[in-house]
Amino acid sequence: MEMDQQKPHIAILPSPGIRHSIPLIELAKLLALHYNFHVTCIMPTIGPPSKAMTTVLEALPISIDRVFLPPVSSEDLHTVHTEIQICRAITLSLPSLRDVFKCLVATTWLAAFVGDVYHVFGCEAFEVAKEFKVMPYVFVSVSATVLSLGLHMPKLDETVQGEFRELPEPLKLPRWSIPIQGRDLLDALLDRQTEWYKLFLSHVKRLRLAERINQTGSSTNHVDESGCISCISWLENQPSGAGNGLPPKVPDGRLRVEVADLTV
């Protein structure tokens, strides 16, 4: 393939499974059809793709390529929790992901890499993008509350003693209008001794590697006078590079409108 100097190329990495892939695939369609990017969807796999996934990918426009990474092999992969399976699958797929990056960097104008943070699993791949001097971006299809919690988890892990589920007082983070009881947090956070908790924490720490965060699907977004929907008002007010570990943020009203109703 000859390098196309006129059309920038974007690589997108969804987490395994159609439930996680659909929001990223819709983003790929938006970038290709409305912004004239060429997109490659890099698909980690745990076994052969499902019929539903194959149908979705075969219907993509010609400006979107798809690359299936070799199925990962691990003796205990199918004996652990689904979320841990996904984490391990992406970790085991990193060598194959590097091979794809080598090819894309050599043959295209690879402008950006977008990782899936539906369950923060794509963050590990940001380090691969950095190796190839490709800017990594975060696409977040979960609520603003979950994103806020993920960004603050490293600090909470350092400062909160004991289990979150046993805290006598509810947690209140900056700009949270309603405190949340520790027992009502994500399942991954209810037992800090588990592998699931440790994996979650290690992945959210990598969020700071992203060049930008684009959040969609949040009921906290609002429309300003220009018609643009801002992303997470409290996050927008955080200064970049202020020692808070937060990357810059990108509000994108059109992305919010196009994608929000399609996320699952």
Burial of 116 (0-12, 13-18, 19+ CB in 10 A): buried
CA distance 264 to 262: 6
Return d(Cα 251, Cα 232) in angstroms, integer.
8
| Beta strands, E only, 167-264 | 212-215, 222-223, 229-230
* Cα 144 to Cα 104: distance, rounded to the nearest angstrom: 33
Q: Which residues contact 104 (CB under 8 A, 6 or more apart)?
A: 9, 11, 40, 110
Active site residue 20: yes
DSSP state of 64: E
Query: C-alpha dihedral over 127, 132, 135, 138, to 10 degrees?
Result: -30
Closest CA to 12 of 97, 78, 119: 97
116 catalytic per annotation = yes
Of 9, 20, 119, 152, which residue is the catalytic one? 20
Number of Cβ within 10 Å of residue 134's Cβ equals: 21
What is the per-residue DSSP string for 121-176?
GGGGGHHHHHHTT-EEEEEE-S-HHHHHHHHHHHHHHHH--S-GGG-SS-B--TT-
Catalytic residue among 38, 116, 119, 252: 116
List, by residue number, the catalytic residues.
20, 116
